[in-house]
Chain A
Amino acid sequence: MTMPEADNGVDISTAVVEARGLGLTFETNDGPVHALSDVNLSIGKGEFVSFIGPSGCGKTTFLRVIADLEQPTAGAITVNGTTPDKARKDRSYGYVFQAPALYPWRTIERNVALPLEIMGHSKAQQKERIARTLELVNLSGFEKKYPWQLSGGMQQRASIARALAFDADLLLMDEPFGALDEIVRDHLNEQLLQLWEKTNKTICFVTHSIPEAVYLSTKIVVMSPRPGRVTDVIDSTLPRERPLDIRETPEFLEIAARVRDGLRAGHSYEE
C-alpha cells in the first residue's frame, strides 16, 4: 500500500498517526453531533503534538479514535501503520486520562503493575519496570502508598508511570494536568519535557491552555467546534531544550499569539 505525502511534509513512512478525511458523527436524540469532520493529520515519530481548542472541538474524541475507544464514521486513520484496533491489541500506546484513574484498592506499585500483569510480564520484569518508571516520574519511595495518600499531582504522575510501564512508543494524554493548580502544572510540564527527552516517545497531548501547548509541543494542532475540525497546524520553532522562562521570550509569545488567532478565527462567538 502506498500513501501520499501528507500536507504538512511529514514523511509518511515514519508517521505514527495518520488521519485522512477523518470524521465522527454521534447520533443523539437531539440529532447528529459532528464531533470530528474532515481531519487530515500526520504525526511523526518522536514528535510532541498538542491538540488545543475549546470544549466540543473534538480534541479528546480524536485522541480516543487513535486509542480505538471511539470508532470513526468517515475517512481513514492508521496508528503505527495499522488500524487503531490492531495497534491497541499490539499494546502500542499508553493512555493518560483526565483523572488519574488509579485503582484505589491497589498501592502505587500495584497500580503501575496493572498493565504488566495483564500483558503477562514476569514478576522480576514487573519489579524492574515499576522501579524504573516510578524513578522516571520522581515517585521512588511511594511504592507502598495508596492513591488517596498522595496529592493530585503525584497521583497523575503515578498514572503517567503506569502508561509508561509497558514501553509503548506512543503516549496519549488527555488533559492530564487540567485539574491541577498552576504551580503544580508548571512543575509537571517541565518534568514531562524531560521525560520526553529521555524516552524519545511520541506524545499526543490534549489541552486547553495556550502556554502549556506552546511550551510543550513541537507541533500545535488548533481545533474548533461545531463541527469539530482542525483549523491550524503550527510547527514550533522553539528549541528542544526549554527552560521554564522560555515562556517570556518573543519567539514563544509569537507562537502563542498565532495559536490564539487560530482559536479566535475558528471559534464563532455568535451564540
Chain B
Amino acid sequence: MIEPSLDLSQDPISERAIYHEYERKRRLRLAGTLLPIFAVLQCIVVIVGSYVTIAIYPGAPVVLQVNIFTTIVMGFCAFFYILGVSFARRGHVSRAVLCLLLPMGATIIVPPLAYDVAYHLAPHAASPIIAITFSIMMATMIFIVLTGILTTGRPPLIGATLSMNILTAIILVYIFHVQGLGAELSKQAVPLIPFVLVIQWAIAGVLLAASGTYLQTLRELGDVRIAYARAQQLDELKDQFITHINHELRTPVMAMQGHVELLLLTEDGLSREERTAYLERAKRAGDNLVSLVTGILDMRRLEQGAEAFAPAPVPLREALDAATQMLDPREMQTGGIRDLRVTIAPELAVWGETVRVRQIFTNLLSNAIKYSPPGTPIEVAAHQIVESLPGAGPWWRDQRPRREMVEIIVRDYGLGIPPAQIPLLFKRFVRLPRDLASSTTGNGLGLHLCKAFAEDMGGSIRVESSGIEGEGAIFRVLLPVPLASLSTEHLHDTP
C-alpha cells in the first residue's frame, strides 16, 4: 500500500513559484559574483586614487585629510560587501542586493564630498575636477545597470534612474560654480546636463526592454520545466501504480491458485470439510481479485471521463438494501452482528446513477463495519437540505446561491479518524498509517471512488471525526435531488 507521503497526484505545481525561484536564484548568483568583484575594484580605486593624488599634490595636507576620509568610506563599503557575501551564501537575496547597492551609492557620493572637503580646506588649490565629474557620471551609469539587473520590476529601476538624474544635476550645477575649470565647464552646461541625463535614461530603457524579453524567456523556460516535472511525476505515479497493483494482485492470486493446486494434489486424503474450506478460500481470493480489478477499472474510467451516465432518480432505500446485500459476508462476520439503524424516508431519492449510489453505500458501510467494534451500531440517515454555495454577495445580505440536495449520513462508533489524517482519506491508494500497521484489509480505493462518484453526480463527500475511539466517524454525502422533487416543503438548512 502506498504511503501517504508518496501520493503526488494531488500536488499542483505553481508556475508562479517556479518563476520566482528562477529569478531569485539568478539574482542571488549575480549578487554573489558581483559583491567580491566590486569590493576588489573599490579597493583598487581607493588605493590608486590615493597614490595618484599624493603623487600629483605632494606634501599637501589636504590630500592626506581627503585620503583619510575616503579610507573611512571604503571601510564602510567593505563592511557592507562582506555582509552582502554572507547574505548571498545564506540565500537572502534582497539583503545581499542591498549590501551591493548601498556602498555603490556611497561610492558615487564620496568623490563630490571629498572634493567639497578639499575645497573648503584649500579653496585655491588646484583640484582634479574633471576626473571627479567623469567618475561620478560613470558611477551613476553603473548604479543604474546594477539596479536594473539585481532588482525585479520596473519601479526600482525607474526610481534609481531618477535619483541618479537628480544627483547628476546637483553635482554638475555645483561644479559649474567652482572657480577656474568649473566656470569654464558651466559654459557648456546646456549640452552637458541633458546629454548625461539622456544617457542614463537610455541605459534604463535598454534594461527595461531586456528585462521584458528576459521575463518572456523565463516563462517559456518555466513552462518547459513544469512540463518536465509533470512528466516525471506522471512517471513516478505510474511506477507506484504498477508496483502497488503488482503487490496487491500477487497475494490473492497465490491464495486462489495455491488452494486449487493443493486441492488437486491432496484431494484423496482430504475430508469433505477440508475440501470445502480450500474451495471457499480460493473463492474468497477470487472475490478479492474481482473487487480490486473492478475498483481499478472504475477509477480508470472515471479519470478518463469515459463513463458517461444518464442521471435518473435513484430511490435511496432501494440502493441501501442492494448495498447491504452486496457487502462482503466476511466483513459482516468480522464485525459481528450489527444493528443497522436506518432513517431514510421511503420516497426519498437522489438524482444520479443507481450503481454509483449503491457503490457509495457499499464502500461507506464496508468501512464502518471494518473500523468499528462488534456489537456497535451503524447509522444510516438521509434527508433533504438546502446547500449554500460559496459565491457572490456580502455576508450580511446572505445572497449566496443555494441548491437543494439530499444529505446521506453514515455513522459508526468505531476508531474514528485522527483529524490530521482526514485530508489523506479520499486520495487513491492511500491508507492511513494506522491501517497500514494493522491487519485490516483494504486497497485504498473505496473512499477515493466514493468521492469520485459523488462529484461525478454533482455532489460531494466529507467526513467528521474527533479521532477519539468510540466516537467513530460521520460521513456526509451530498447528492442532488431529482428534478421533480425540487422545492419541497420541509428543508433543513446547511452552511
A, B assembled together:
no
Residues of A within 8 A of B (CB): none
